[in-house]
Amino acid sequence: MKLLTATLVKNPRSVTTKYGQRIVADCKLENGETITLWQPENSQIINYGNGSKLTLTIDSKGKYHWVETEKETAIASKPEPNQSFTNQQKREIAEYITEQTKLFSFCYA
């Protein structure tokens, strides 16, 4: 078994396949080769972001496998820019927050 280091080149994403939900992670190996990792839908790799370093193994069939190690840390993915809300949506959000504030104040009292 050979241990390799790879870097995520995109944020991992969930996809639907004929075998069910899977997580796809595009990685670049130290030698510059780009590979795709297919993980089960409950894989923690989904929490890793672009630029995260991963440890991989390669089996006798040439398939790559992710090895989660303690030294790896997930880089939080960059948040998407704030979406624009309509004035009506803003009013509804403000109303909800106001009601929740009143409820919290009541509970606290």
**End-to-end Cα separation, the chain, in angstroms:** 62
> What's the total number of domains in the chain?
1
pLDDT at 60: 85
pLDDT at 19: 87
Residue 3: name the closest of 66, 52, 47, 84 by CA: 66
pLDDT at 81: 58
The one-letter code for the residue type at 29 is: L
- The answer to whether position 102 is within a domain reads no
Residue 28 CA to chain centroid, in angstroms?
Answer: 17
- The answer to whether position 74 is within a domain reads no
Q: Which domain holds residue 59?
A: 2-67
- The answer to whether position 81 is within a domain reads no
Percent of the chain whose predicted confidence (pLDDT) is above 90: 39
Banded model confidence at residue 79, pLDDT cuts 50, 70, 90: low
What CATH number is attached to the domain comprising 60?
2.40.50
pTM above 0.85, yes or no: no
DSSP 21: E
